[in-house]
Structure 1
Amino acid sequence: MSAPPGSRAEVLVDRQGPVLTVTFNRPAQRNAMTWAMYDGLYEACERADADDDIRLLVLRGAGDDAFVSGTDIRQFAEFTSGDDGVAYERRITRVLDRLEDVNVPTVAAIRGYCVGAGLAIAAVCDLRLATPDAKFGIPVARTLGNCLSMPTYALLVHHLGPARTLDLLLNAKFYSGQEAHAAGFVAESTTDLDEAVQQTVDRLLGHAPLTMWATKEAVRRLRRGEVAGDDIVSRVYGSHDFRAAVQAFTSKQTRTWTGR
């Protein structure tokens, strides 16, 4: 996302080889999301899917205080009716759906606060890595007094189950990175987040792209209540990668993944 001369980009998108990294870049505001930041995230997802050479998307927050601390509250000052709330939640859902639909694996690297919309953004990523003292929550019951959309409630119940979702929201509490890991929401809780992210990136880049796509797509469809999947199986089994890997395995040769 580009910025006017003399201004600071609120979303940084950087490509290093096959890895596209999105950094939410408002550290002084704990990376609270503006409309422009949501648009920047959407555009980064479009970029990831438009370039066949991009194999991985990593999301992180600038600074040590937060991944994303929710939507910037100043964005709500213009709301005058319930219709504004409906439009807002639909706008957020559009961005979350786009991130969930990205073809390549998505990794959220989380330190500090992962709150409100930040928690939802992390939840639609495929893997979440976090420091033990990270803070996960949506404490709107004691802050703004608003609510979530049905798709976001469904997302939380999918990951945490009804009991933990009710505990998190009704008690307006925070789970630590360690607690989120114990709940299965965080894949790895580590004090060396950068090293853990790099190890995860290296591991995923060595795996078959179409196998990972099939896994992502199947889980996404199941979460949304879809069960048809013959097209997934057909694409993977009909791929060049599968045929080449079978041949390489039987002849004990080194295989190279192409994603085709």
Structure 2
Amino acid sequence: MSDPELLVTKADGVVTVVFNRPQRHNAFTKAMYADLRDLCDELQASPDVRALVLRGAGGRAFAAGNEISDFLEADAVAYEEWIRELLGKLFAVPQVTIAAIDGFCVGGGLAVATHCDIRIATPESRFGYPIAKTLGNALAAPVVHRCAAVFGESLTRKMLLTGRLVDADRAYSVGALTEITEDLNGTLDELVDEVLAASATTQRATKRQLNARAVEQERAPDFDDDLLREVYTGADFNEGVRAFLAKEKPSFATHAQADAADEE
């Protein structure tokens, strides 16, 4: 029997989750999201747990996006909404959440990491949403807003509009990371010890205050569902999926020109 894709352990007030698909750079499946969603619900009623640690297996990625087949097998907009609800649950858990990042943290991986309280990473780690270069889809507005809250609007615009990844030094310089470390395990242990030694009352009260402000500012606009549906039924996403499955580079410019010609 193969190892579970989501490894969950609990010890001494700390729950550790390892995304365990190293052969796929820990890309998230619907089952992994469902398990993480259930865990977040459990943590709401687990006062004995003080910290939640998220990390990826294999040393090459925290998590690199989502399995494209899950989008193709479901209503893509409904699936995006379902993922966004999971991210909201992760954001709302009363425990201190820590993303320990080693390698690529992109797409769905970055969405999960930006919904954690604290992010630490190795120097080789990279961050971004390369969808403008790959699938030609779009993110739910609250996910974009959360990225902007963590990385700043200017860098978020650059990541999403160009598809370019951000290195760890740049992420640290804008405050998206609290620390860059060669010794991820050692730094994580020190951080967890500090969390466990601090007041849980202070931590939970502070999270409620900061999260309330974030939720209000990062609310989805009224047009978001219609916009996403237009994106997921459009030519660019179809081309992105075709190219992804064929392991080719997508030709978005060609499709944009064809669309313009059709309008004429």
TM-score by length of 2: 0.80
Superposed displacement of residue 96, structure 1: 0.2
Q: How does 1:82-161 map to 2 (within 5 A)?
A: 84-161=75-152
C-alpha distance in 2 between matches for 1:77 and 1:90: 15
Q: What is residue 29 of structure 1 aligned with on the other side? A: 24
Q: Is the 8 A contact 2:25 2:60 kept in 1?
A: yes
Q: What is residue 250 of structure 1 aligned with on the other side? A: none
Superposed displacement of residue 43, structure 1: 1.6
C-alpha distance in 1 between matches for 2:45 and 2:17: 16
State the SS of the aligned residue for 1:225: helix
Which of the numbers 60, 63, 74 marks the counterpart of 2:58?
63
Superposed displacement of residue 185, structure 1: 0.3
Deviating beyond 4 angstroms after TM superposition, the runs of 4 or more aligned structure 1 residues are none
C-alpha distance in 2 between matches for 1:33 and 1:222: 28
Superposed displacement of residue 177, structure 1: 1.5
C-alpha distance in 2 between matches for 1:210 and 1:36: 33
State the SS of the aligned residue for 1:221: helix
Superposed displacement of residue 48, structure 1: 2.1
Superposed displacement of residue 158, structure 1: 1.4
Q: What is residue 159 of structure 2 aligned with on the other side? A: 168
CA RMSD of aligned residues (A): 1.2
Question: In the TM superposition, what whole-angstrom CA distance separates every residue of 1:160-187 from its partner, at most 9, and x where no partner exists?
Answer: 2221111111111111112111110011
Q: What is residue 208 of structure 1 aligned with on the other side? A: 199
Higher relative contact order (CA 8 A, sep 6+): 2
Q: Percent identity?
A: 41
C-alpha distance in 2 between matches for 1:135 and 1:162: 18
Question: In the TM superposition, what whole-angstrom CA distance separates every residue of 1:133-169 from its partner, at most 9, and x where no partner exists?
Answer: 1010100001000000011111112122221111111
Q: How does 1:168-247 map to 2 (within 5 A)?
A: 168-225=159-216
Q: Is the 8 A contact 2:151 2:171 kept in 1?
A: no
Q: What is residue 44 of structure 1 aligned with on the other side? A: 39
C-alpha distance in 1 between matches for 2:216 and 2:68: 33
Q: Is the 8 A contact 1:142 1:172 kept in 2?
A: yes
State the SS of the aligned residue for 2:152: helix
Question: In the TM superposition, what whole-angstrom CA distance separates every residue of 1:97-150 from its partner, at most 9, and x where no partner exists?
Answer: 000000110000000110101101000100000011101010000100000001
C-alpha distance in 2 between matches for 1:47 and 1:224: 21
C-alpha distance in 2 between matches for 1:104 and 1:77: 34
Code of the residue aligned with 2:108 in structure 1: it is A
Superposed displacement of residue 207, structure 1: 0.3
Q: Is the 8 A contact 1:22 1:44 kept in 2?
A: no
State the SS of the aligned residue for 1:21: strand
Greater share of helix: 2
State the SS of the aligned residue for 1:154: helix
Code of the residue aligned with 2:62 in structure 1: it is F
Q: How does 1:68-83 map to 2 (within 5 A)?
A: 68-78=63-73
State the SS of the aligned residue for 2:216: coil
